[in-house]
Amino acid sequence: MDTDGTATAASETPQLAAHSHHHDILPSTTILLVVMPITIIILLLAILFITVMLRRMRPAKENDSLNSSPEHGNCIFVPHRNAALSTPDVKGGCLYGVNSSRFPPPKVKGIQVFTYKDLEVATENFSETNVIGNGGFGVVYKGILSDGNMAAVKMLHREGKQGERAFRQEVDLLSTLHSPYLMELLGYCADQHHRLLIFEFMPNGTLQQHLHTPNNRAQPLNWGTRLRIALDCARALEFLHEHTTPSVIHRDFKCSNILLDQNFRAKVSDFGLAKIGSDKINGQISTRVMGTTGYLAPEYASTGRLTTKSDVYSYGVVLLELLTGRVPVDTKRPSGEHVLVSWALPRLTCREKLAKMVDPALQGQYYKKDLIQIAAIAAMCVQTEADYRPLMTDVVQSLIPLVKNLSSSCPSNSSRSNQRVSPRS
């Protein structure tokens, strides 16, 4: 019996040892199964954290590089016309903090890059005595460049991305669009936070100054000069609409954006709000309504649908200003005469009323048949329905014979010989 018990105990000993060994192995396996996934998860979280931090640090580094740029480090644009007008990225194509000694400011198709110091010298430290214009987008100064040429220096009021986009847009457009009827861009400055545009100097200022500025000492523009201005502006819009691919819509065509040279020939300026037709759908662009009250086409003002015919409407308003001497909106006038288009439309087609609406300064300077034709063009341009408005090409062709006949047919056009007019095709 003792022998059997001893044998039984001896036989159980290996089993207990094996069982004990099994209990020793199980916890280690369990630990591995638990620890390994946790380790992998921790590694993945660490990688994710590092990636997020790197992305956050990248904009900060960009800002640091901008802020640490030299005092007069220029931003040099690499023009991409379509991209600049369609992309919201306002930093693309711009090299910040350029050291001019290592990277001389280039000329991009004749467009020169200026430093802020250059323009301080040119404008006598932006003296108020050199201010020649002031508008919603900035102040314009008269300046003398280092080569001795006179220029108009436009300092833009920057308001976030919109101001930056408007600046880039003017540089991009005017460096690629060349027409004798558009203002010539001589250069630009993107020195740190300063944004300036340098244009050819137009000694006779804006059309608005001649038509609407009280106590203007200059003689009123005569009939012939006004017709030539109308033709120059029509050719400018014709160029933008018909002779560029894709077409360009100015979107802010008005008297204050029409400049006059020494011979009172007109050039169109201010392309900060311009749109190109690359994103057109059936000839229309849906966009945020921007522009100037009194010049906005009805369909654009109410729905945001923008087409080249929107510019045609604005042109019609300017033509009415040339014809009547009135501003687009004047709340000081009697009831029913506040809005120029509403007041003028019924009179444009009535011969008895037509002569009475003409600017008194033009009396005796035109033939009635010429007046009727100008009135008809204006009436078509300001039609409520965009489809009824003419193309700018049609307007140009209608004005050409009137302007050609000026020297021989205008009753008293030569009586104001102080306003010289040079021929321009």
Catalytic residue among 172, 252, 270, 311: 252
Select from 240, 229, 220 the least CA-distant residue to 265. Answer: 229
Instruction: Using alpha carbons only, give the angle 96, 200, 211 rounded to the nearest 5 degrees.
Output: 125
Residue with tokens 């010049």: 295
* 8-state DSSP, 158: -
Q: Is 154 annotated as a binding residue?
A: yes
CB contact at 8 A, 271 and 173: yes
Residue 106 has pLDDT above 50, yes or no: no
Distance (Å, rounded) from C-alpha 208 to C-alpha 58?
A: 48
Look at 18-27, 95-104, 306-315 and tell me which has the smallest mean pLDDT. 95-104
Which is more confident, 417 or 342? 342
Residue range 133-138: mean pLDDT, rounded: 80
Write down how long the chain is: 425
Distance (Å, rounded) from C-alpha 416 to C-alpha 225?
A: 10
210, amino acid identity: H
Residue range 158-179: mean pLDDT, rounded: 84
Distance (Å, rounded) from C-alpha 299 to C-alpha 280?
A: 16
DSSP, collapsed to helix, strand or coil, labels residue 406 as helix
Considering all CA atoms of the chain, what is the largest pairwise distance in Å, rounded to the nearest integer? Answer: 152
* pLDDT for res 145: 96
Residue range 275-293: mean pLDDT, rounded: 69
Helix (H) or strand (E) holding 36: helix 2-67
Question: Domain 207-415 is of which CATH architecture?
Answer: Orthogonal Bundle (1.10)
Neighbour tally for 94: CB within 10 Å: 17
Residue 205 has pLDDT above 80, yes or no: yes
Burial environment of residue 199 by CB neighbours within 10 A (0 to 12, 13 to 18, 19 or more):
buried
* pLDDT for res 407: 67
* pLDDT for res 190: 92
* pLDDT for res 28: 67
Which is more confident, 360 or 407? 360
Residue range 242-264: mean pLDDT, rounded: 95
Instruction: Using alpha carbons only, give the angle 382, 388, 393 rounded to the nearest 5 degrees.
Output: 80
Select from 419, 136, 171, 391 the least CA-distant residue to 256. Answer: 136
Residue with tokens 């007008």: 85
CB contact at 8 A, 296 and 210: no
* pLDDT for res 337: 93
Binning pLDDT at 50, 70 and 90, where does residue 324 land? very high
Domain extents in the chain = 74-200, 207-415
Count, in order, helices (H) and strands (E) of the chain: 13, 15
Residue 97 has pLDDT above 70, yes or no: no
Alpha carbon of residue 237 to chain centroid = 15
Distance (Å, rounded) from C-alpha 77 to C-alpha 367?
A: 51
* pLDDT for res 413: 47
Residue 422 has pLDDT above 50, yes or no: no
* pLDDT for res 24: 52
| Tokens matching residue 55 | 């992305």
CATH H superfamily, domain 74-200: Phosphorylase Kinase; domain 1 (3.30.200.20)
Residue 39 has pLDDT above 70, yes or no: yes
Q: How far is CA 326 from CA 142, 248, 331, 365, 421, in A?
A: 28, 28, 12, 18, 24
Most confident of 33-37, 116-120, 216-220: 116-120
Residue range 185-202: mean pLDDT, rounded: 94
Residue range 208-231: mean pLDDT, rounded: 90
* 8-state DSSP, 205: -
297, amino acid identity: A
Q: 308-324 and 223-242 are packed helices; what angle lies between their axes, rounded to 10 degrees?
A: 180
User: What beta strand segments (E) does 251-336 contain?
Assistant: 258-260, 266-268, 275-276, 285-286, 305-306
Residue range 390-400: mean pLDDT, rounded: 98
Select from 172, 4, 217 the least CA-distant residue to 80. Answer: 172
Helix (H) or strand (E) holding 95: strand 94-98
Catalytic residue check, 24: no
Distance (Å, rounded) from C-alpha 124 to C-alpha 372?
A: 49
User: Whole-model pTM?
Assistant: 0.74
Asked whether the domain spanning 207-415 has the same topology as the one spanning 74-200, the reply is no
Select from 152, 401, 108, 386 the least CA-distant residue to 249. Answer: 386
Residue 63 has pLDDT above 80, yes or no: no
Binning pLDDT at 50, 70 and 90, where does residue 64 land? very low
Neighbour tally for 8: CB within 10 Å: 10
Which is more confident, 33 or 366? 366
403, amino acid identity: V
Residue 396 has pLDDT above 90, yes or no: yes
